[in-house]
Amino acid sequence: MTHVAQPLGGPLLTRGYRVLLGMAGIALLLIAWRFAAGLGAVTGLNDGYPWGIWIAFDVVTGTALACGGYAMALLVYALSRGEYHPLVRPALLTSALGYSIAGVAIAVDVGRPWFIHRIPLRPDLWNLNSALLEVALCVMAYVIVLWIELAPVFLRRWAAGGETGFTRFARAATRGLNRAMPFIIALGILLPTMHQSSLGTVMVLAGPKLHPLWQTTFLPGLFLVSCIGMGFAMVVVESSLAVLAFGRRPETPMLGRLSRAASITVALFLVFRFGDLAVRGQLGALFAAGRYSLLFWLETILFVLPALMFLRATVRRHLGALFGWSCILALAGALYRFDTYLLAFDPGPGWSYFPAAPEILITLGFVAVEVALYVAIVKRFPILGGPSARSGRVEVTA
């Protein structure tokens, strides 16, 4: 059968939704304070730890969690697994939202965001050795690509109705986009391949400040493979949440098959991770006492357990189990990124960092905005496929 995506409909301003808006409002006020009083007033950042949770979570982890669109595009369009197509559009939406919010987070984090436009607009100044430049350019481009990939969803709704200039434009744009789409989709695979790996390269330059269990010239490869695994995991997580929150018909068999793809990427990641440590002669450090080996093993266990569980048919048939283990896998990738950017980063004696309360509230505000926009869009636009299993239950508690 074909999966026809439909708007969910239903009221928007539920109680849960008001909570989200409240969180966003608090974050907005704190951001105003940050721009009035400087970064030191709202963050725990310092000269030893110049990057905190806004970079490690909102940007580095946030974009990796938003790799569902990338992972699904790889699977459906590059590997020709058309059966997963119904999962592409919701994944693209969370990707577009995740990357857009990461972009906003960067603008809040950098000290002089009013000069950000110089990065794309002044190629004569580009330092092509800077991995961060590559990340910045690719992320900016990918945000645009993601919204273009989603554009037909919005255009179709706007194309409906009377014969006005706007509807004619929407129809023409839909036709044009449809022709260009293969090349846009290819760009939507190329750009994350580039910047998700470059997010690893960024920390190569931290040199001896990053612990040897994480510091390797193979960081780009490890970041790339793990972001694909996180992408698959997040598609399962989001689909399960849609079942819970919106009463969608469970797509358990499809998600079960998808979880096996996640297992494969995790296996690949672990081969690279341990292979790299062996080549660099760092395997001994795994058994050294202290918090670094502990963090490493925590990461590894969080990767291994879900990958093994996804091999069991009982887990693959059970939506709750798939959801839980996918959350663990996403957590594993998140911890790997937190370790690389914060926990295994040591600028030397005398420095420490813990996020300040306003810093955390701003991050929570970003998450709230992301969820709020997702809920609003799936209620008003055709994103989620398949009929509702429990008709009438569209009330959301976000």
Site for another protein in 109-128 (CB under 8 A): 109-113, 115-116, 118-119, 122, 124-128
Query: Which residues between 205 and 224 bind another protein (CB under 8 A)?
Result: 205-209, 217, 219-220
Query: Which residues between 82 and 101 bind another protein (CB under 8 A)?
Result: 82, 85
| Closest distance of CB 123 from another protein, Å | 9
Task: Please give the backbone phi and psi of residue 260, each rounded to the nearest 5 degrees, phi first.
Answer: -70, -35
Sequence-ordered list of residues with C-beta below 8 angstroms from that of 67, at least 6 positions apart, any chain:
95, 192, 196, 227, 228, 230, 231, 234
Provide DSSP, 10-43. Answer: S-S--HHHHHHHHHHHHHHHHHHHHHHH-HHHH-
Query: Which residues between 5 and 44 bind another protein (CB under 8 A)?
Result: 5, 35-41
| Closest distance of CB 15 from another protein, Å | 32
SS3 174: helix
Query: Which residues between 253 and 312 bind another protein (CB under 8 A)?
Result: none
| Closest distance of CB 257 from another protein, Å | 16
User: What span, in angstroms and rounded, lies between the C-alpha atoms of 379 and 398?
Assistant: 12
Query: Which residues between 359 and 398 bind another protein (CB under 8 A)?
Result: 382
204 binds another protein (CB under 8 A): yes
| Closest distance of CB 265 from another protein, Å | 18
Q: Are residues 87 and 199 in contact, defined by beta-carbon separation less than 8 angstroms?
A: no
Considering beta carbons, is residue 200 or 256 the nearer one to another protein? 200
**Which two structure tokens, joined as six digits, stand for 88?**
């592409």
| Closest distance of CB 35 from another protein, Å | 7
Radius of gyration in angstroms for the set of CA atoms belonging to the chain, rounded to a whole number: 21
Provide DSSP, 274-324. Answer: HHHHHHTT-GGGGGSSSHHHHHHHHHHHHHHHHHHHTTSHHHHT-HHHHHH
| Closest distance of CB 138 from another protein, Å | 10
Binding mask 37-76 for another protein (x = CB under 8 A): xxxxx---xxxx-xx------------------------x
Among 276, 347, 376, 380, binds another protein (CB under 8 A): 347
